[in-house]
Structure 1
Amino acid sequence: MNLFYIISGIWLTAEILLNRLVRSGKGDNQKVDSNTERYLWIVIAIAVTLGVYVSFITYQPIVLLNNFSYVGMALMIAGILLRIIAIKQLGKYFTVDVTIRQEHQLMQSGLYKHVRHPSYTGVLLAFLGLGITFNNWYSLLIIFIPVFSVFVIRMSTEEKALLAQFGEAYKNYINNTKRLLPFIY
């Protein structure tokens, strides 16, 4: 489990640093967020706390394998890496709060050619991995369903802002890409 603590610590530290360092600026349109960032942090904190607690008090294994937690950790790492790549590709247009930057450009290349929210795909994959790491159906559902739901709200808020900014170009982008998973959703 030491590996789990290392992965979790790196992930949490990276998210806290992003939250502190990559925020909208004074010249950006900041009025589009609707507090989704706050809701994300609250739901994540509650869901993960409950998921961990439930993993200690119940035994509902996903599979009967001793090392199944490594599958979850591998998904966590893959999700974190996918999120980092997506953030890097979005570059100066990435912020932790839903914002339209000055001179904002619609990203449609790299990962964004295939899905509209690859950063969210990555973070959701990491949360799926987190739930799987506990090898407990209840923990998996308690962590993943609320987190996924609040990210759906966040994506809707972000898409409204992008639609208002880019109009027909963003409508076409929506029609040609899926939100999180190519060809699926």
Structure 2
Amino acid sequence: MSSLVSSAFLAVLNAAAIHLSVTPPSHASPAEQEKFKSNKKPSDGLSFVQLNLGFMRTINAGFCLCNLYMLLATIYPALLPSSVVRTIFAPNFATTLPTAAIFTPSNTYIYGSFVLYFGAYIRLITYRALGRFFTFELSVKDEHKLITTGPYAVVRHPAYFGAIFVCIGLVTVHLFSPGTWWVECGLWSTWYGKVFGVLWAANLSLIQVQLLARVPKEDHVLRQVFGEQWNEWAQKTPYAVIPFVW
């Protein structure tokens, strides 16, 4: 029973961490976005990421519910659907019943979860540091202030640093962790599981590329808006995303 409780706790906590990481704390108003466009600043390239946010939250909730469902099914086998449905949803248990031992959290699951939590923590403290100035849209708000303390004293774009760890942790706990629904129920052994898994991992990787491509654009905007204040900050904080690397 303790392993089931641990697995359920991780499933819920992971889902919450992912949800918070991909949910914008505030939005730029249409007027602020129009002001941004009228100043002929570079495009923020966020369209692809924005289209994915709702999809990511839905998939994340789906993985959480599937994990919890299989954990409950080890206690209450009557919850399991027919063998035909199980052939699709849990092919490894189409004709047999899952046991609690199968869903014991593996080291991969635990380590992946902590990588995810680290990334989520970084993103949440950046949300708090910027407050209402943090938006997923590339914009400059009225009375905008340049925040150079907290995580912004380490790198200029710490939210993207956190996003790297969120992505690594997410892919690990969703697709590659023994002791979870996806791996133990054999979704990788199906053609549709392979297709979804590859597309999901590729999509998340592409999101990271899109986010990191925004770094020079954001620096350009901030340099134009804050001038010498930004230059002084860039000298004190030379790394954009990854400490001592970039």
Report the TM range for the smaller structure's normalisation: 0.7 to 0.9
| Residue matched to 1:151 | 211
1 CA distance for matches of 2:27 and 2:42?
12
Which deviations, in whole Å up to 9, do the C-alpha atoms of 1:155-183 show, x marking residues without a partner?
22222211221123323433432111222
Q: 1:161 aligns with which of 208, 221, 241?
A: 221
Q: CA deviation at 1:9?
A: 2.9
Q: What is the aligned partner in structure 1 of residue 45 from structure 2?
A: 36
Q: Which moves more between the two structures, 107-116 or 171-180?
A: 171-180
Number of corresponding residues: 168
Residue 13 of structure 2: aligned partner: 7
1:128, 1:144 within 8 Å by CA — same for their partners in 2? no
Percent identity over the alignment is: 19
Structure 1 unaligned segments of length 5 or more: list them: 57-64
Q: What displacement does 1:74 show?
A: 0.8
Which structure carries more relative contact order (alpha carbon 8 Å, separation 6+)? 1
1:101 equivalent in structure 2: 141
Contact 1:117 1:180 in 2 (8 A): yes
**Whole-Å Cα distance in 1 between the matches of residues 44 and 111 of structure 2?**
34
Q: CA RMSD in A?
A: 3.3
Q: Which amino acid aligns with 1:135?
A: F
- Note the C-alpha offset of 1:25: 2.8
Q: Please list the CA deviations of residues 94-135 of structure 1 after superposition, one character each: whole Å capped at 9, or x if unmatched.
A: 112111111111111111011011112112211111123333
Q: Choose which of 63, 84, 90 in structure 1 pairs with 2:130.
A: 90
Q: Does 1:22 align with 2:26?
A: yes
- Measure the CA separation in 1 of the matches of 2:30 and 2:204: 34
State the one-letter code of the partner of 1:36: G
What is the TM-score normalised by the length of structure 1?
0.72
Range with bigger deviation, 91-100 or 31-40? 31-40
- Cα distance in 2 for partners of 1:42, 1:5 equals 25
Larger Rg: 2
Deviations 1:32-78 (A, max 9, x none): 572533222446759xx7xx9xxx9xxxxxxxx94212111111111
Q: Residue 132 of structure 1 is aligned with which of 172, 176, 185?
A: 172
Structure 2: gaps of 5 or more residues: 1-6, 64-89, 91-104, 178-196
The answer (yes or no) to whether the contact 1:23–1:96 under 8 Å persists in 2 is yes
For the residues of structure 2 that align with 1:109 and 1:100, how far apart are their CA atoms? 19
Question: Distance in 2 between the 1:178 and 1:160 partners?
Answer: 15
Aligned in 2, Cα 1:41/1:69: closer, same or farther, shift over 3 Å? Answer: farther
**Per-residue deviation at 1:150?**
0.9
Question: TM-score with structure 2 length normalisation?
Answer: 0.56
Is 1:112 aligned to 2:173, yes or no? Answer: no
Q: Aligned runs of 1:27-66 on 2, under 5 Å? A: 28=32, 29-31=35-37, 32=41, 34=43, 36-42=45-51, 66=106
CA distance in 2, matches of 1:4, 1:135: 15
Quote the offset at 1:149 in angstroms. 1.0
Aligned-pair CA distance for 1:83: 0.6
